[in-house]
Amino acid sequence: MDPNKPSSEELDIFKLSPEEVYSNLGTSKDGISEAEAKKRLGIYGLNQIEEVKQKPLIFKFLENFYNILALLLWAASVLAFIAGIFQLGFAIIGVIVINAIFSFWQEYEAEKATEALKKILPSTAKVIREGKESKILASSLVPGDIIVLEEGDNISADSRLVEAFQLKVDNSTLTGESRPVRKESEGMSGENHSFLEMHNLVFAGTSVAAGSGKAVVFATGAKTEFNKIATLTQAVKEVQSPLQKEINKLARMIAAIAILMGFTLFIVNVFVIDFPLELAFIFAIGLTVANVPEGLLPTVTLALAASAKKMVSKNALIKKLSSVETLGSTTIICTDKTGTLTKNEMTVRKIWIPCEIVEVTGAGYTSQGKFLHKGQEIGYDEMKELKLLMRTSAFCNDAKLIPPKKEGGKWKILGDPTEASLLVAAAKSGFNLEEEIKKIPRIIELPFDSKRKSMSSIHQKEDKKVAYIKGAPKKIISLSSYISQNGKIRPFSDEEKEKIVKKHDELASQGLRILAMAYRDLPHDFTDYTPETVEKDMIFLGMMAMQDPPRPEVHDAVEQCHKAGIRIIMITGDYGLTARAIAEEIGIISGPCEIVKGKELTEMSDDEVGQLLKSGCDVIFARAIPEHKLRIASILEDEDEIVAMTGDGVNDAPALRKADIGISMGITGTDVAKEASDMVLTDDNFASIVEAIKQGRTIYENIRKFITYIFAHETAEIIPFVLMVLFKIPLPITVMQILAIDLGTDTLPALALGVGPSEADVMDRPPRSRKERLLNLGVILRGYIFLGLIEAALVMSGYFWILSSGGWQLGQSLPFSDPLYIKATTMVFVGIVTAQIGNLLGCQTSRTSTFKIGVFKNRWIPMGIAFEVAVVLSIVYIPYLQSIFNTTALGINEWLYVVTFIPIMFFADELRKYIMRKRN
């Protein structure tokens, strides 16, 4: 085979006859030789997923050593070594390493979509080479190889069928459709079919559901449709989450402030106060370190990890920590219908036979339920049309019901859920399929075809043959020439057909999916089994209307979304009227609604779609395919929306990667979809998405709370340096004590705030704007100014109290080793920690009173306080730590003094919240 020849698509391989396929692909019925296979392998390469080169993990780890905060700390460390303060220099390096490890934790949860794609491809394939059948590694397949297909086999490469015997292929990994597709080997025109829909082509990553066949490989490795999806999935670039962007902006802001203040202090100390250069260095480093919240990145990471763990109990598995917060910013949810908004348990609800309605009770796939006609229970054999309808629905069917292994267990199905619901309905009516099929065996099946929208099952009944047909109502009605009513067969007029079509639309508008049934008696010598000869002049029997009922909890979840200002867009492959009825039932839409069919969407430009989405009207995308999801996600993101997208198939993966939050289904989803997503729903339930959004909003608010908490002591650490310069007092706190607070006492309490419960109104506010800053004016005023200045005033009062009680006077210098100075700095250190306990209790809420939610409702709060107390007592009373942090033991009077800081800080913030509530 010449590699310079046109590709298989350019050759229109689907148009060729089997004999022409052999010729065009350079092979024969005996296959190619081993020598030729080796030669082609050199030309086309291995049959495996082509990976886009990713950045090595080691580089991702090293990146954490040169972000803006890390560079600032490196500079402080270098200055410490220059000044000869080696202990401080090594301590700051330790901070950098700790931050790098915690930050890398997020990166380590990297994408594994390619690995999941590889797992789907089989490791071996059956081929015919040199006239002999053998097994080879799937990676060794080359164009021109003949592969042998049998039931249960995975398909290893894109191939053109040359033989097919009742062959059905499961294309769900590529198309998302669970119904097995009938395949044939004859050539076809290709009109009105996409490449994936060609009935004589099979594709890598799919599997044989039934039958057998042979196919000639025409595309391997990078050229397969499967690999195109893989490449597209990997090509979608990673973008930073809103929180990551905010943290980076915050880091740059803090760095600028720290550098400016450190440099200013150094200049003032050297040229104004005339400090020795070494001492000026120490103070500049101290102020720089005081401005850097060293514990911020580890605390954010730990808080996100704890929140992700909490969300597992809410049936939402978060794969990327930053996604937790992104969920809270979500403005639009693009959701599937089946299985996400509904139970994915198709159930027949109504049966229409000419001029009569039969109600069906029960739900799910168990046979518990009744047939009710005018309120009275009936069986399938009490009406001729009903009996024939049940026979048609059960005979014209490829699904199977699997009973539970244990009593009380759940029934499962094999095959299409719609067909399974027909079997269940037949069982409820009393129809015994096994006995009936023995008496009236199947001769041949004309499988469902999406073009003709029907399926026929031909059976031998005594001395005649009968074709039982089911399909799309409008199609079946148009092909029927007769109608059966009250046991009598009469001509089917056009006027009556129009009335029944209206009845169909009426049922569809109730959220019901509808199939029509008909039959036709065939001559005993009939042999021309084609759709054209079988499916005509039929006798119309009636329609069966089924529903996949909405999940009961979804209605409340949708209502929460509306209250939270989140828009919901349904993207479904279902019929438009059915989708609309479900959307109305669960509250997604309540007024006018635009239903856009897949074909219409394809013909619309991006600008037209964008205008439609911006118009504010409710939109449902019906008869959509997974490729439409990627396009919709791209258009919405261009409009600056934060999009959560659901999906479960392989070809949903690009859309899941493109969306801000890709949400895959844990039960029905493919491995590829799960790996491409940011979140996996372990129960496939829309309500779990809303719970996750609530948690996402909560974590953002909680991050603000612990930033407020951290900034309060940042002010209390900075003010001593300012006072030192203004009033020439001894430095009230040492750099090592600052590090002890930032990375020691404050870490666990800040984390406790990060995993706190939601406030009552968290879902009563619109989504946060992309432009809204994490560090906004409210956080600055509350943390840096209000709480920070109160805390600074308290600790400085303790500092001056100790110094004055020891005889110190303003303007007097004290050496760092002076016991009075050590005691005074210890008082400041302990004062900041105790003030932070009161701050911790108050920062649990932003607006509501802490008493309303419970001061200790968050079980991490008492643990955080106990941790703070343990650390500060260790530093103050353990001799070894005293020497490192320049502290000394305090007496009972000093402790009584600083303990008052707790209620002062707490009630000060409670007063602020009370005033805010009154003003609002």
pLDDT at site 610:
92
**For the ranges 245-254, 453-462, 505-514, which has the lowest average pLDDT?**
245-254
Q: 213: how many CB neighbours lie within 10 A of its CB?
A: 23
Q: Of 145, 153, 336, 648, which is the active-site residue?
A: 336
DSSP for 297-318 reads HHHHHHHHHHHHHHHHTTTEEE
- Check the CA dihedral 374-377-381-385 and report its sign: positive
pLDDT at site 834:
97
pLDDT at site 382:
86
Contact partners, residue 739, CB within 8 Å, separation at least 6: 91, 92, 95, 289, 294
pTM equals 0.66
Reply yes or no on whether the pLDDT at 121 is more than 50.
no
Average pLDDT over residues 337-351: 85
Mean pLDDT, the chain, integer: 84
Q: Which residue has the higher pLDDT, 296 or 561?
A: 561
Structural contact between residues 220 and 143, judged by C-beta atoms closer than 8 angstroms:
yes
Average pLDDT over residues 586-593: 87
Task: Identify the CA nearest to 153 among candidates 126, 119, 181.
Answer: 126
Contact partners, residue 652, CB within 8 Å, separation at least 6: 176, 626, 629, 664, 673, 676
Phi and psi at residue 569, in whole multiples of 5°? -120, 120
Q: Is 101 left (phi over 0), alpha (psi -120 to 50) or beta?
A: alpha
- Measured CA to CA, the distance from residue 118 to residue 552 in angstroms comes to 38
DSSP helix, strand, coil percent of the chain (3-state; round to 5): 50, 20, 30
Reply yes or no on whether the pLDDT at 642 is more than 60.
yes
Q: Which residue has the higher pLDDT, 9 or 761?
A: 761
- Give strand pairing partners of 135: 126
- Measured CA to CA, the distance from residue 482 to residue 488 in angstroms comes to 10
- Measured CA to CA, the distance from residue 422 to residue 348 in angstroms comes to 7
Average pLDDT over residues 163-186: 77
State both tokens at 723: 């006072």
Task: Identify the CA nearest to 511 among candidates 573, 590, 578, 591.
Answer: 578
- Check the CA dihedral 778-780-785-789 and report its sign: positive
- Measured CA to CA, the distance from residue 104 to residue 331 in angstroms comes to 29
DSSP for 579-609 reads HHHHHHHHTS--S-EEEEEHHHHHHS-HHHH
Give the C-alpha distances (Å, rounded to integers) separating 215 from 18, 150, 162, 680, 725. 9, 11, 5, 36, 85
DSSP for 346-377 reads -EEEEEEETTEEEEE---TTSS---EEETTEE
User: pLDDT per residue over 793-807, tens digit each?
Assistant: 999 999 999 999 999
Give the C-alpha distances (Å, rounded to integers) separating 320 from 65, 96, 102, 245. 21, 23, 14, 15
State both tokens at 432: 């015994």
Q: At what angle do helices 86-108 and 296-312 cross, to 10 degrees?
A: 30
pLDDT at site 111:
43
- Most confident of the following: 5-19, 52-66, 78-92, 248-262: 248-262
Reply yes or no on whether the pLDDT at 73 is more than 60.
yes
User: pLDDT per residue over 185-194, tens digit each?
Assistant: 888 875 556 6
pLDDT at site 386:
92
**For the ranges 763-772, 817-826, 828-837, which has the lowest average pLDDT?**
763-772
Give Dmax (Cα) for the chain. 122
Contact partners, residue 410, CB within 8 Å, separation at least 6: 364, 365, 404
Count of positions (residues) in the chain = 920
User: pLDDT per residue over 719-747, tens digit each?
Assistant: 988 888 788 889 899 878 887 887 678 87
pLDDT category of residue 541 using cuts at 50, 70 and 90: very high
User: CA 885: distance to chain centroid?
Assistant: 47
| Helix locations, 176-224, DSSP H | none
DSSP at 463 = T
- Measured CA to CA, the distance from residue 419 to residue 513 in angstroms comes to 12
DSSP at 550 = B
Specify whether 678 is catalytic: no
pLDDT category of residue 102 using cuts at 50, 70 and 90: low
- Measured CA to CA, the distance from residue 706 to residue 659 in angstroms comes to 29
Give the C-alpha distances (Å, rounded to integers) separating 566 from 561, 569, 764. 5, 10, 11
Reply yes or no on whether the pLDDT at 4 is more than 60.
no
pLDDT at site 559:
93
pLDDT at site 10:
43
Structural contact between residues 507 and 543, judged by C-beta atoms closer than 8 angstroms:
yes
User: pLDDT per residue over 854-893, tens digit each?
Assistant: 888 888 899 999 999 999 999 999 999 999 889 999 999 9
pLDDT at site 120:
46
pLDDT at site 224:
87
pLDDT-above-90 percentage for the chain: 36
Structural contact between residues 770 and 709, judged by C-beta atoms closer than 8 angstroms:
no
At 892, which helix (H) or strand (E)?
helix 892-899
pLDDT category of residue 362 using cuts at 50, 70 and 90: confident
Reply yes or no on whether the pLDDT at 49 is more than 80.
no
pLDDT at site 894:
96
Structural contact between residues 315 and 685, judged by C-beta atoms closer than 8 angstroms:
yes
Q: Collapse the DSSP code of 639 into the 3-class scheme (helix H, G, I; strand E, B; otherwise coil) and give the result.
A: coil
- Measured CA to CA, the distance from residue 141 to residue 137 in angstroms comes to 7
User: CA 605: distance to chain centroid?
Assistant: 27
Q: Which residue has the higher pLDDT, 247 or 856?
A: 856
Reply yes or no on whether the pLDDT at 558 is more than 60.
yes
- Measured CA to CA, the distance from residue 781 to residue 277 in angstroms comes to 35
Reply yes or no on whether the pLDDT at 118 is more than 50.
no
Burial of 192 (0-12, 13-18, 19+ CB in 10 A): exposed
pLDDT category of residue 334 using cuts at 50, 70 and 90: very high
